[in-house]
Amino acid sequence: MIFLILSQIIEDEFIIRFKDNFSKELFVKKHKNIIKKEIYGLNAVVVKTKDINKIEKNSSIVYIQNAINYRITFIPNDSLFRKYQWNAYVTYLDKAWDITKGSQTIGIAVIDQGVDYEHPDLVAQFDPSNKGYDFIDNDNDPLPNKNITTEIHGTHVAGIISATMNNFIGVAGVGNFRLYSYRACDTIGNCPDYNISSAIIMASKNPNVKVLNLSLGSPIGSNIIKEAIDTAIKYNKIVVAAAGNDGGFVNYPAAYDSVIAVGAWDTTNQKASFSSWGKELDIMAPGVWIISTINSNLQATNTCGMNEVLKGYACLSGTSMATPFISGVIGLILSINPNLNFNQVKDILCSTAEDVDLVGFDKRTGCGLVNVYKAIRKAQQYQ
Q: How does pLDDT run across 343-380, given as a tens digit for each residue?
A: 999 999 999 999 887 777 799 899 999 999 999 999 99
pLDDT reading at 84 higher than 60: no
In this prediction, residue 73 carries a pLDDT of 37
Average pLDDT value for residue range 42-67: 90
Which position has the higher pLDDT, 110 or 77? 110
Q: State whether residue 70 is helix, strand or coil.
A: strand
- In this structure, whether the domain defined by 2-70 belongs to CATH 2.40.37.10 is answered with no
Average pLDDT value for residue range 61-84: 60
Average pLDDT value for residue range 17-30: 91
What angle separates helix 372-381 from helix 342-352, to the nearest 10 degrees? 130
pLDDT reading at 329 higher than 90: yes
| Per-domain boundaries in the chain | 2-70, 71-381
In this prediction, residue 299 carries a pLDDT of 80
- In this structure, whether the domain defined by 71-381 belongs to CATH 3.40.50.200 is answered with yes
In this prediction, residue 306 carries a pLDDT of 64
In this prediction, residue 344 carries a pLDDT of 97
In this prediction, residue 81 carries a pLDDT of 26
Which of 280-289, 296-305, 329-338 shows the lowest per-residue confidence on average (mean pLDDT)? 296-305
In this prediction, residue 75 carries a pLDDT of 32
pLDDT grade for 40, boundaries at 50, 70 and 90: very high
DSSP collapsed to 3 states, 278-324:
CCCCCEEEECCCEEEECCCCCEEECHHHCCCEEECEEEEECHHHHHH
In this prediction, residue 373 carries a pLDDT of 95
Taking phi over 0 as left and psi of -120 to 50 as alpha, with beta for the rest, 166 belongs to left
112 assigned to active site: yes
Please state, as a whole number, how many other Cβ atoms lie within 10 Å of the Cβ of residue 46.
Answer: 21
pLDDT-above-70 percentage for the chain: 92
pLDDT reading at 185 higher than 50: yes
In this prediction, residue 4 carries a pLDDT of 45
In this prediction, residue 3 carries a pLDDT of 45
Angle at 67 between CA 206 and CA 149, to 5 degrees: 70
Which position has the higher pLDDT, 364 or 77? 364
pLDDT per residue as tens digits for the range 255-268: 999 999 999 999 88
In this prediction, residue 130 carries a pLDDT of 97
Q: State whether residue 156 is helix, strand or coil.
A: helix
Q: Cite the DSSP H helix spans in the chain.
A: 25-30, 87-90, 93-96, 153-162, 193-205, 223-234, 319-336, 342-352, 372-381
In this prediction, residue 132 carries a pLDDT of 98
Amino acid at the residue 203: A
In this prediction, residue 57 carries a pLDDT of 79
In this prediction, residue 72 carries a pLDDT of 61
pLDDT reading at 7 higher than 70: no
The one catalytic residue among 296, 320, 327, 335: 320
The one catalytic residue among 7, 116, 134, 153: 153
pLDDT per residue as tens digits for the range 120-155: 999 999 999 999 999 999 999 999 999 888 899 999
Q: How far apart are CA 370 and CA 354, in angstroms?
A: 6
The one catalytic residue among 7, 112, 121, 198: 112
pLDDT reading at 82 higher than 50: no
Which of 69-83, 255-269, 312-326 shows the lowest per-residue confidence on average (mean pLDDT)? 69-83
pLDDT per residue as tens digits for the range 199-212: 999 999 999 999 99
